[in-house]
Amino acid sequence: MTTEKKSTLRASQRGTLGLKKTTETSKVKQSFARGRTNTVLVEVKKTRRPVKEKPDEKPVVQESTSEAPPPPPKEKPKAPPPPSQEKKDMDGRLARQEKADALLRKAEEERYQAMVEASRREEEERTEKNKSEKTAKPKPTSKTKSHARKTVKAEAPPAILEDPVKAHGAGKRSEDEIKDEDKSAGARRKAEAPKSIRPRGEKRRQSGKLTVARALADEDDQIRVRSMAALKRAREKEKRALKTGQAPVQKQSREVTVPESITVQELANRMAERAADLVKTLFNMGVAVTVNQTIDQDTAELVLNEFGHKIKRIAESDVEIGLSGEEDSEDQLSHRAPVVTIMGHVDHGKTSLLDALRKSDIVAAEAGGITQHIGAYQIMVREGAQITFLDTPGHEAFTEMRSRGAHVTDIVVLVIAADDGPMPQTIEAINHARAAKVPIIVAITKTDLPGSNPDKIREDLLQHEVIVEKLSGDVQDVEISTPNRVGLDTLLDKILLQAEMMEIKANPSRSAEGTVIEARLDKGRGPVATILVQRGTLQVGDIFVVGSEWGKVRALKNDHAETVKSAGPAQPVEVLGLSGVPEAGDIFSVVENEARAREVATYRQSLAKNKRTTMAPASLENLFSNLKADKAKEFPVVIKADVHGSVEAIHQAVTKIGSEDIKVQVLHAAVGGITESDISLAKASNALVIGFNVRANAKAREAAERDGVTLNYYDIIYDLIDDLKKIMAGDLGPEIVENVVGTARVQDIFQAGKSGRAAGCMVTEGTLKRNLKARIMRDDVIVYVGALSSLRRFKDDVAEVRNGQECGLTLENYNDIKQGDIIEVFEQSERERQL
């Protein structure tokens, strides 16, 4: 029995199982512009092709160092199929592949056509639904949302896939290549389809929006369609129009209010147009402007006509129209307290009378015992009646203050001292009261002094057409003694009686209006104005305009320095919250808003600026007067005072000082303390700085000492005027006085020496003296001014020649003496100058 040797199975050394590399790598150097280079790695893929085995070749076995199982028994290799059979199999596979590709393309086209048809039907249904819907706005449904997502994702029909045979050539391919092609066919179609959908030049943002126009158009047509957002906005606009039942809004034609000058931006706002459109229109008209530039009314009218609007022309002064409000009806009026102004000559007892009525001591607070400010006070009379008193200064420099007091008052109390009588300021007060058309009550004060005669005062008033009741007139009068408090109650009764006869009324339920009595700059509180409310009620928080300033009422204080929340008619209050110091006498008006206040204040500031800068045209008459005035020396001053009324009074007083030789030039006059800027101005013009009831701060004092600027402080106005006269007179120096000593007539001319000529004269007036100055007048015209060089009588030199005597004389450096000339001999002397 034959035994066969069995092979033993054992682990062999591990070998590597794999294919040969089908790719080869190599490096390629790339060259770019400007000398740049780059090295890249390139892979070359080899195509695997089947290798036919020959009958005589043996299979190659990979050697291994480890033990391996015995090889299988040798089998006879199969013969390869004949070439005709292989070609038939390949043709069958290609035919099946082409059939599958054709079916896939047909399915894609049918799917795309179905999507286009569905989108078209949805669009038609939506349009019909929008037309029929009138009341409610449809809410988006899940169906429309999904359809919107589908339309966004839907694209143009995918491009026809290329034939794989054409892509790889008509040559023969192996089974492995065909299998690889079958596996990657779907991936290639997905990668190539989006690139073939978007036409060249179409925006990528709109590539995902499928519309009816794009679906029905050819792929090569370049159609620009509206976006879905634009279509949605248009549909919403149509729905709103259908809901309201109105046609689309037409462009309105407006009547635009245009002032004398207006900016392009403001004009566009009033027209409700875009500013860029106005700029474009003006540019087409030949006017190159920006939105912030100003145009006139004529140009604005052309622009308005271009846009189909109408113009309404207004002047700049129209901003003040309606500022004072409408007139009050009779049923809105109610009784108010009378406003009484105390007027009279200086030191006749006006403030003492007011102190006696108020039981106060105002006189002690006034410098020099005289009133230099206008004050407003309100006192309570018996039975609850109130009277508002205004105290005015009596000095001649405060004419404007007295005029303002007379124009805002209801009754004037004319104070006359019994021991003095009517004085210039008394007469001026009478004229102010007549100009304001207010009644007068005569108060004869100081009746307790010896030598007082009230009856004489009444008689003196007749010269000024003031007839008291005691002399059968209509003017009330009362005799008063303030130290003894005699006649005070009688005066109050007469004031109330006069007010009752006048029926003084006002409307407290309207916007406040009043007059500035006094204004000043307070160091801690800023600009402060004393306002006399004439009608309406002023409250904290009101926005107002006063003169060229505006503001918002921050606080109100009455005459007792108590804080109040409101002030009614005929009540004087201090107002805080102004933008600047107004002028005394300015009208105070409450407006509706801050914009209106700014507009009015800006307009008034422009008027004041134009008034300062505009020069009056010079006529032939004032031309020579200006030339004559220019010969006078100017004395510059800088004035600073505590209140505006004092500034005004000092300014008027100092301008009256002067003569033909010198006059005052006020460089700056304002309210407030002396500052460093005032010192700089005085240094530049060599001016005198005057402070009235104010002082200079520390920096201003240092600057004045450093620059040598003179500071003069005053608290009484007539001391200021007297000192200023002396300073101006000293600045001119002593006055030269000329005294004519004698005159003589030339009777004959004769030769005196080799080159001189002497005049034989007859003394007609006075005495001719040697070594005095002389002048020659020929036909009343001065032809020479010099001195006598010699004086002789006969052949002797004499010191003087008397009237009626003959003499011979010669003049220094003058020989053109003619017969008939008049010779005046005069002497000059100095004396103190008076202004």
- By residue count, the chain amounts to 835
Residues 362, 351: contact at Cβ < 8 Å? yes
| pLDDT of amino acid 576 | 92
* 466 lies in the same domain as 597: no
* 98 lies in the same domain as 120: yes
775: in domain: yes
Q: Report how far residue 110's alpha carbon sits from residue 349's, in angstroms, rounded to the nearest whole number.
A: 118
11: in domain: no
| pLDDT of amino acid 54 | 46
CA-based nearest residue to 350, from 395, 405, 392, 404: 392
Residues 632, 603: contact at Cβ < 8 Å? no
Domain extent for 463 = 337-361+387-486
23: in domain: no
Last residue of a domain, one of 215, 241, 267: 241
25: in domain: no
Q: CA angle, 574 as apex, 571 and 575 as ends, to 5°?
A: 110
| Axis crossing angle, helix 175-197 with helix 83-132, rounded to the nearest 10 | 20
Regions of the chain where pLDDT drops below 50: 1-8, 11-12, 53-69, 74-78, 135-139, 141-172, 193-198, 201-203, 206, 219-222, 363-364, 368-369, 615-618, 620, 623, 629
Please state the pTM of the whole predicted model: 0.53
* 229 lies in the same domain as 96: yes
Q: What is the DSSP letter of 716?
A: S
CATH of residue 413: 3.40.50.300
555: in domain: yes
Q: CA angle, 757 as apex, 753 and 758 as ends, to 5°?
A: 100
* 100 lies in the same domain as 154: yes
* 163 lies in the same domain as 268: no
Q: Report how far residue 514's alpha carbon sits from residue 494's, in angstroms, rounded to the nearest whole number.
A: 26
Q: Report how far residue 296's alpha carbon sits from residue 308's, in angstroms, rounded to the nearest whole number.
A: 18
| pLDDT of amino acid 677 | 87
* 607 lies in the same domain as 635: no
Strand partners, 578: 551
Residues 415, 343: contact at Cβ < 8 Å? yes
Task: Indicate if the alpha-carbon torsion angle 165, 168, 170, 176 is positive or negative.
Answer: negative
CA-based nearest residue to 774, from 792, 788, 761, 791: 788
Task: Give the pLDDT confidence of 664-696 residue by residue, as tens digits.
Answer: 888 888 888 898 888 888 888 888 899 988 888
* 214 lies in the same domain as 112: yes
* 267 lies in the same domain as 395: no
* 482 lies in the same domain as 538: no
Task: Catalogue the E-assigned strands of 410-496.
Answer: 411-417, 440-445, 476-479
Task: Give the pLDDT confidence of 422-475 residue by residue, as tens digits.
Answer: 888 888 888 888 888 888 899 988 888 887 888 888 888 888 888 888 888 888
Q: Report how far residue 539's alpha carbon sits from residue 555's, in angstroms, rounded to the nearest whole number.
A: 9
Report the number of distinct structural domains present in the chain.
6
553: in domain: yes
Q: What is the 3-state secondary structure (H, E, C) of 203-253?
A: CHHHCCCCCHHHHHCCCCCCCCCCCHHHHHHHHHHHHHHHHHCCCCCCCCC
* 769 lies in the same domain as 821: yes
What are the tokens at 120? Answer: 């078209």
| pLDDT of amino acid 168 | 42
Residue indicated by tokens 């409450």: 590
| pLDDT of amino acid 280 | 92
Burial class of residue 320, CB neighbours in 10 A (0-12, 13-18, 19+): middle
CA-based nearest residue to 758, from 809, 806, 711: 809
* 582 lies in the same domain as 723: no
What are the tokens at 363? Answer: 């006189």
CATH of residue 282: 1.10.10
Task: Give the pLDDT confidence of 240-273 residue by residue, as tens digits.
Answer: 777 766 555 567 788 888 888 889 999 999 988 8
CATH of residue 660: 3.40.50.10050
296: in domain: yes
CA-based nearest residue to 689, from 676, 257, 602: 676
| pLDDT of amino acid 5 | 45
Q: Report how far residue 617's alpha carbon sits from residue 8's, in angstroms, rounded to the nearest whole number.
A: 140
